[in-house]
Structure 1
């Protein structure tokens, strides 16, 4: 019996990098340092790995051996979010046994707009399957392209309709749990910082009409969970999930003299920025203002704070998507899965003080 062919996961372990980083050295468009590239290539050489194998038994005959991962955000920012990095690690591991590589692509709206980051395009990229990260109304254009090409599709964090496997979180229920935690602590004046509300990534306060037009499933679902507890809480949309965006949102929130006693942020990065804005405003966390996040990721420089947050299984989500892709390419039925977040109380929330 011949020895098992080395996979990208084997190369990643040998090089001491994540599977997603090893994968983009071979087939992605995200830049990596020369040192990392050389380390990955050296590991590949020692293992006899030459790249994705289009002849892998689990891939359909004559196909490329590449799985496209479609984002609705600039590819350069794809790995700045630790949630995305963990999810891509899981996805890469999930398709590794197929001998498949991963190609990062922009959504069809970017392609149509002539975005240079979108090359190769969804219409021309040599892929055997696609994973859509989210499925907003704009991303559904990408779904239509995949269907026209008869390419199997899996969606992470979105509803693409009947027949498309979905890997989802209990976003609404989880966010409701964090909001209920704040309510139990006596908080009544609460503000919400949301993830981007649409492809334009506009930053600012959301009115009722704008909330009805939110085009990103995750943003809408998490906002609904907070609204279940705080139906009148003002909501501020960030332009991205980042510390800088959270800081900008926090500055807007704490500009008023009658500032809220608690802020619900839809990501840990946003929550970290809100905390920094609170400190700049001379507010103590959690004595003067409580802050909750979402994701359960490690944020550098956050100490001595430990966020009160919802911990999501990011790597498991990606791996489940990879497993679904493998099943579809092997002619098996791919299951839709819904993961559950775990509430984790930290030291960024506390009961309302008497002064409030």
Structure 2
């Protein structure tokens, strides 16, 4: 192309890319020569190999991508991360990892050139992909999991945050309080459980939020009627589990439900309405995440994880990993955000 346009290779490159001070007449001549020769630009793969990078960051999402895109908190984290990836620049490749068979993602990972991998959105503590990626020397970043020394963590104090929102409910005067959990393991069905369900939990986020709740509300023998777990952390499963907690005589019914996510909390609000209960007059409800809920008329009392900011911080740590650094693990900040869904229990 440079020869056809009668310019040097460097001038042709600057003219074609638009990145250098080249006369307009020369740019026009280079572009005309490129069009005549059918040249569409440099090979991005060859360019990445020269620079030692693929320009792709893998983001492993536990479960189906459908569920991640339905979760506004997950979307806000990915949005924040993508903003920094655009600045690096790098592309994002979403990789779904089957909850019950995480090893199935390894063949896809092995066939993909990746500069780094981010484990996001509450995955299991033990992930077989870690050893595969470590053997390839690929930098890894997690949001508290997988628990592995080669994974840099932007973790969350799940137990402490859950304790804070549970203490708020206790200080309002609630003593009959129930807890609605995200999945504790890949195969658990939605239903009532007792404290022993926490034994052997593979999802540390869910387990630790439950422990934070139990640090404040010691349920004793009443635990089975006050603890529920869901198969998916969405509104539908939250409503199903909430009915199991709430559909009982008023003297036995909880006056508050502490849910492990905002979507689960919305499921509780839905179930309460179907049972003729008012929130918060008859039932206080809290969530966890701090997402926007434009379809909800009130304001949910919740633990705000600041999803977009968390995603950007993941991106900043990732930038340092790509630069060859090994940043220290961090704990992401959270805020207890009081809303209109909690008040003292009815007399």
User: Does the alignment reach a TM-score above 0.5?
Assistant: yes
- Structure 1 distance, partners of 2:233, 2:102, is 25
Instruction: Please report the TM-score for the alignment, with normalisation by the length of structure 2.
Output: 0.80
| Counterpart pick for 1:86 among 73, 76, 92 | 76
Aligned residues: 305
1:241 maps to 233
- Matches of residues 280-291 of structure 1 in structure 2 within 5 Å? 280-291=274-285
Report whether the alignment pairs 1:308 with 2:301. yes
Q: What SS is found at the alignment partner of 1:79?
A: helix
- Structure 1 distance, partners of 2:53, 2:181, is 40
- Matches of residues 182-193 of structure 1 in structure 2 within 5 Å? 182-193=169-180
- Matches of residues 26-105 of structure 1 in structure 2 within 5 Å? 55=47, 61-105=51-95
Gaps of 5+ in 2: 1-13, 19-39
Deviations along 1:245-268, one digit per CA (max 9) or x if unpaired, are 111111111122221010000111
2:124 maps to 136
Which has the greater radius of gyration? 2
> How far off its partner does 1:125 sit?
2.0
Change beyond 3 A, Cα 1:300–1:51: farther
The runs of at least 4 aligned residues of structure 1 exceeding 6 Å deviation read 48-54, 108-113
1:215 maps to 202
> How far off its partner does 1:55 sit?
4.2
Report whether the alignment pairs 1:157 with 2:144. yes
Report whether the alignment pairs 1:251 with 2:226. no
2:155 maps to 168
Q: Is the 8 A contact 1:170 1:338 kept in 2?
A: yes
- Structure 1 distance, partners of 2:153, 2:46, is 26
Report whether the alignment pairs 1:338 with 2:326. no
| Counterpart pick for 1:269 among 263, 271, 283 | 263
RMSD: 2.8
Report whether the alignment pairs 1:347 with 2:337. no
Q: Is the 8 A contact 1:53 1:65 kept in 2?
A: no
Higher-helix-fraction structure:
2
Gaps of 5+ in 1: 7-47
- Structure 2 distance, partners of 1:158, 1:179, is 24
